[in-house]
């Protein structure tokens, strides 16, 4: 089996790259913008014909949430046009597609964890572009996995920012009125490989939308406090309201995801966010 990974230099792509060493029965074709421009239909078509992958995992995305408000066209190109091209050609060539999406497709006004077919209502250009990408992939029988609060030992993310600030500052404010669940990119990468291998073994392709994050619920403030505790930082974290930290793009106030569907369909066990955070911090702090 061959798996094409796009966006392989990002957080999730890097985790898949590392996991590839544990799956010697799978050939991973790791690409980023330097190897493959997924916004070019001609390039993608030629690449797929040459390499003939069984699956595509699309980790590539425009993720600069605030910049997307002023770079709408670029966000749409990467988050909508690219997955449309990948899924259209994938369906034509009999290639399975797994596309990674986001909690930002919701408006954050729920009080219960979001299920896959709850109403979507993105509040930002980033969320709009990701939703259009979802629709394109689903129209071509792909698998869409929505996730939230992604972090890793690699790339730029909240965990690494908190560790840096914890060394530089005596105190900092973090919003307490945005609730969700952190997701360790390593766990998501393992889940995606498990989904693909299960699908291959059972020959039962479960296209559609699935939600994946780690288990449990917290605010960004709670998350930051735990990072400081586990990393041994003396930096004091203060809870602040979102209005005290204005940003161009609105964030969902509540983005907890219901994961029952993905757990039951693919027989997945999902770790609690605190356990996964400990493992990630062990990697980050071991030096």
User: Is 126 one of the catalytic residues?
Assistant: yes
Q: In this structure, are strands 218-219 and 179-180 parallel, antiparallel, or unpaired?
A: antiparallel
Catalytic residue among 62, 80, 126, 154: 126
Which one-letter DSSP state was computed for residue 251?
Answer: P
SS3 121: coil
Distances (CA, A) of 253 to 3, 4, 15, 240: 36, 35, 28, 13
Q: How many C-beta neighbours within 10 Å does residue 248 have? A: 12
Half-sphere exposure of 161 (CA within 13 A, CB side): 11
Do residues 115 and 256 make contact, with C-beta atoms less than 8 angstroms apart? Answer: no
Do residues 262 and 199 make contact, with C-beta atoms less than 8 angstroms apart? Answer: no
Q: So which residues are the catalytic ones?
A: 126
């Amino acid at each position: 089996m061959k798996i094409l990974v796009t966006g392989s230099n990002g957080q999730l792509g890097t985790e898949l790259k590392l996991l590839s060493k544990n799956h010697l029965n799978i050939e991973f074709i790791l690409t980023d913008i330097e190897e493959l421009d997924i916004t070019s239909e001609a390039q993608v078509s030629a690449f797929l014909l040459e390499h003939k992958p069984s699956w595509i995992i699309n980790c590539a995305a425009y993720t600069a949430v605030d910049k997307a408000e002023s770079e709408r066209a670029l966000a749409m190109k990467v988050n909508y046009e690219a997955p449309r091209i990948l899924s259209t050609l994938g369906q034509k060539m009999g290639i399975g597609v797994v596309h990674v999406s986001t909690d930002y497709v919701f408006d954050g006004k729920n009080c219960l964890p979001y299920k896959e077919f709850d109403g979507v209502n993105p509040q930002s250009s980033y969320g709009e572009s990701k939703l259009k990408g979802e629709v394109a992939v689903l129209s071509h029988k792909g698998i869409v996995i929505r996730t939230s609060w992604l972090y890793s030992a690699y790339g730029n993310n909240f965990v690494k920012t908190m560790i840096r600030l914890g060394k530089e500052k005596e105190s900092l404010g973090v919003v307490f009125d945005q609730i969700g669940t952190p997701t360790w990119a390593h766990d998501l990468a393992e889940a995606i490989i498990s989904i693909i291998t299960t699908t291959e073994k059972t020959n039962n392709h479960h296209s559609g939308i699935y939600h994946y994050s780690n288990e449990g619920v917290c605010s960004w403030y709670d998350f930051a406090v735990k990072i400081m505790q586990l990393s041994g930082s003396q930096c004091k974290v203060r809870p602040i309201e979102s209005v005290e930290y204005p940003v161009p793009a609105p964030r969902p106030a509540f983005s907890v995801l219901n994961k029952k569907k993905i757990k039951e369909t693919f027989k997945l066990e999902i770790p609690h966010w605190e356990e996964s955070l400990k493992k990630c911090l062990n990697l980050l702090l071991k030096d």
